[in-house]
C-alpha cells in the first residue's frame, strides 16, 4: 500500500491513499482525524476497499470472497469456531491469530468473530509451564491483537464506524464441551438456516473428541479441519487449568493484559 499526501496535512485534514490490487489501484479516503489503523500498518479508511478473496473453484465458486473472519488467541477455541463457520459458509471463512494479516478495516467481512479464554488458562494450555519467555511474549502479543478488535468494536459503538460488519466475542468457557450449542449459536449469528440433523452432523464433525482424535495423527497424515499434531491434550482443554501457574507468571499476565480480565469478566484471583 502507498500513502499519498495530496496537499499539506494538518491534524484536521483528511488523506487520500491508494491500494494496489491485481485489478489496479483503488483510491481510498482516510477516516478524518484518525491517521493510523488499529493494526498500525496503514491509514484507517472510511470504508473497507477490498474483499478478502479465496480460491474455491472446486466447490463451484469463482473468485469467491470470505464472509467470516475468525480470530483470537491460540487455544481459545478459534479453531473449533472456524471449523463450524467454514462448514456453514461452504468454505468462505478465514482463520487468524492476529489482526494485521487479515485487517478488517481494509477487507470486507460480514462477520468478525473473536474467541477469548481466561488468560491464565490460555497461557497454561499453550504450554508455558514448559516453555520460555519468548513463548510467553508471543501469547501476550496475541492479547494485544484482541485489544485491537476491542478498540474496533468500540469505534463501531461510539462513532458508527464500519456498521456493515458485525463483531462478536466468543468466550471459550461458554462453549467448552458444548459443541451443538456452538453450532447453533454460530448458525444463528450468520443467519444460516440449518436443520437439527445438519446441526448435529456439524457438531459431530467439529466436537472436542473428534478433534482430539485428529490431533493424535502424525503430521501430514490427516490435515482435515486444520488440527495440528498434539493440539489437544488428554485434559481436553478443561477450564481452570491455569490455577497451576506460579504466582510470578500470573502477576506477569495481569501486568501485561489486566484490561482483558475486566473487559471479559475474568477472575483475577490466584
pLDDT in tens, 95-137: 988 898 889 998 899 999 999 999 999 998 887 545 567 677 8
pTM, whole model, 2 decimals? 0.84
Q: What percent of the chain has pLDDT over 90?
A: 49
159: pLDDT strictly greater than 80: yes
What pLDDT sits at residue 129? 47
What pLDDT sits at residue 3? 40
For 40-61, write each residue's pLDDT tens digit.
887 888 888 888 877 554 445 5
140: pLDDT strictly greater than 70: yes
15: pLDDT strictly greater than 50: yes
What pLDDT sits at residue 49? 82
What pLDDT sits at residue 83? 94
What pLDDT sits at residue 2? 42
Mean pLDDT of 140-149: 93
Give dist(CA 220, CA 262) in Å, integer.
40
267: pLDDT strictly greater than 70: yes
- Sorted by sequence, the CB contacts under 8 Å of residue 51 that are 6+ apart come out as 65, 66, 107, 108
141: pLDDT strictly greater than 70: yes
What pLDDT sits at residue 218? 61
Q: Environment class of residue 178 by beta-carbon count within 10 Å: exposed (0-12), middle (13-18) or buried (19+)?
A: middle
6: pLDDT strictly greater than 50: no
Measured at the alpha carbon of residue 135, what is the angle toward residues 133 and 139, in degrees to the nearest 5? 115
The least confident of 14-18, 118-122, 262-266 is: 14-18
What pLDDT sits at residue 237? 83
CA 194 from centre of chain: 24
228: pLDDT strictly greater than 70: no
**Structural domains in the chain plus CATH codes:** 47-264 (3.40.50.300)
Instruction: Report the mean per-residue pLDDT for the chain.
Output: 83
CA 230 from centre of chain: 21
What pLDDT sits at residue 220? 53
Joined grid coordinates for residue 140: 501476550
Joined grid coordinates for residue 258: 489486566
Amino acid at each position: 500500500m502507498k500513502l499519498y499526501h495530496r496537499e499539506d496535512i494538518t491534524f484536521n485534514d483528511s488523506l487520500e491513499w491508494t491500494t494496489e490490487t491485481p485489478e489496479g489501484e483503488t483510491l481510498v479516503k482516510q477516516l478524518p482525524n484518525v491517521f493510523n489503523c488499529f493494526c498500525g500498518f496503514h491509514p484507517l479508511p472510511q470504508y473497507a476497499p477490498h474483499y478478502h478473496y479465496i480460491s474455491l473453484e472446486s466447490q463451484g465458486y469463482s473468485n469467491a470472497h470470505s464472509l467470516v473472519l475468525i480470530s483470537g488467541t491460540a487455544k481459545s477455541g478459534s479453531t473449533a469456531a472456524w471449523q463450524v463457520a467454514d462448514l456453514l459458509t461452504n468454505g468462505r471463512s478465514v482463520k487468524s491469530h492476529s489482526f494485521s494479516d487479515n485487517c478488517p478495516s481494509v477487507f470486507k467481512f460480514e462477520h468478525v468473530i473473536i474467541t477469548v479464554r481466561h488468560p491464565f488458562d490460555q497461557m497454561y494450555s499453550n504450554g508455558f509451564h514448559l516453555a520460555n519467555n519468548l513463548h510467553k511474549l508471543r501469547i501476550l502479543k496475541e492479547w494485544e491483537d484482541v485489544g485491537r478488535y476491542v478498540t474496533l468494536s468500540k469505534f463501531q459503538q461510539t462513532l458508527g464506524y464500519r456498521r456493515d460488519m458485525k463483531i462478536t466475542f466468543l468466550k471459550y468457557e461458554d462453549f467448552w464441551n458444548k459443541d451443538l450449542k456452538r453450532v447453533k449459536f454460530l448458525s444463528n449469528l450468520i443467519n444460516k438456516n440449518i436443520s437439527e440433523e445438519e446441526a448435529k452432523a456439524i457438531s459431530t464433525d467439529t466436537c472436542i473428541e473428534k478433534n482430539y482424535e485428529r490431533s493424535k495423527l502424525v503430521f501430514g497424515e490427516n490435515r482435515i479441519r486444520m488440527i495440528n499434531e498434539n493440539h489437544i491434550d488428554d485434559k481436553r482443554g478443561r477450564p481452570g487449568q491455569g490455577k497451576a501457574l506460579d504466582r510470578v507468571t500470573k502477576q506477569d499476565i495481569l501486568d501485561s493484559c489486566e484490561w482483558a480480565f475486566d473487559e471479559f469478566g475474568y477472575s483475577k484471583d490466584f
